[in-house]
Amino acid sequence: MHIDLLESLTEQNRNWSETGKHLLETGEYHEALAYYDRAIIAEPQDHQAWYERGVVLETLGLAKEAIASYEKATQIQPQSYWPWYAWGYVAFKELGDNEQALQCFEQSLALRPDDYWSAYRRGEALRCLGHYGAAIASYDALLETRSPDYWLWYRRGDALRDWGKFKEALSSYSHAIALKPQDFWAWYRKADLLQRLGRWQAAIKSYEQALAADDEDGLVWYEYACCCALCGDSDKAILGLREALSLQYPGDREAILSDRRLARLQDHPQFQLTMTNDQ
């Protein structure tokens, strides 16, 4: 009788898991969750059901509940790659728990040492934790075999920038731009660094490239205006400032008036008119 009951529960677990997977694939997430719950009641040690239940919860935007399912899957089967990776991804992306994410990606990498995504996400977690040298080493190891990878170069630039190594970061952003010449973000990051380094003419050119990719960003127009003002090009500076204000640039009027980079414009009649019209 006991054996018959176990066989019945195992069969129910299999059927409910298969139904849950089908519902997951067809986008019927709440129904899928109900079937995975039934499968787990029938067989609490089914690590795959716990993992797939986590996928459903993650898809529904229930990050903490998804992590609980992924964690349970790793407890039952520590040698399973996907629960570790998924746990790390949700911890990093949805909860900002970089320490936990790093631990999970270390585990998934131990199971699949050549896995690109675990290594890339590990670099991201390290960067966000301020371990810039380790993050760059992680990116560099991947670049040895994936040199034409935009995101590796871009995130490497971010790590170098956050570390205060602006010149090295510029080189990484330039590599990213070479791979995606029309990309807004790499041009914007490059322009920002050039401005910090006092290379205003070069910054203007990079801001112009960023604006060619997306001219609806008020912050970029404002930074462009500041660089033009620093270079003595009042007309372009006024134009950029007007565009920034028309796009609801987030800075307030007092902050703009006190921005030293715009000091050369203070007595310009068009600057006064622009600021008056913005009130």
Query: The CATH number of the domain where 57 resides is what?
Result: 1.25.40.10
Domain end position, chosen among 114, 137, 170: 114
Domain end position, chosen among 85, 114, 143: 114
Tally the domains of the chain: 2
Asked whether residue 269 is assigned to any structural domain, the reply reads: yes
Q: How many C-beta atoms surround the C-beta of residue 207 within 10 A?
A: 27
Domain end position, chosen among 98, 114, 130: 114
pLDDT in the model for residue 271: 84
Asked whether residue 149 is assigned to any structural domain, the reply reads: no
By residue range, what is the domain housing residue 73? 1-114
**Whose structure tokens read 């790659």?**
81
pLDDT in the model for residue 125: 98
Sign of CA dihedral 195, 198, 201, 206: negative
pLDDT in the model for residue 5: 37
pLDDT in the model for residue 136: 98
Q: Six-digit token pair at 262?
A: 């715009």
pLDDT in the model for residue 2: 47
Q: What is the DSSP string of 55-116?
A: HHHHHTT-HHHHHHHHHHHHHH-TT-HHHHHHHHHHHHHTT--HHHHHHHHHHHHHH-TT-H
Asked whether residue 239 is assigned to any structural domain, the reply reads: yes
DSSP letter, residue 208: H
Q: What is the pLDDT of residues 136-149, one digit of tens each?
A: 999 999 999 999 99
Residue 11 to residue 204: CA distance in whole angstroms: 67
Residue 275 to residue 257: CA distance in whole angstroms: 9
Asked whether residue 30 is assigned to any structural domain, the reply reads: yes
Residues of the chain with pLDDT below 50 are: 1-9
pLDDT in the model for residue 59: 96
Asked whether residue 18 is assigned to any structural domain, the reply reads: yes
pTM of the model as a whole: 0.87
Asked whether residue 196 is assigned to any structural domain, the reply reads: no
Q: Find the length of the chain.
A: 279
Angle CA 183–184–188, to nearest 5: 125
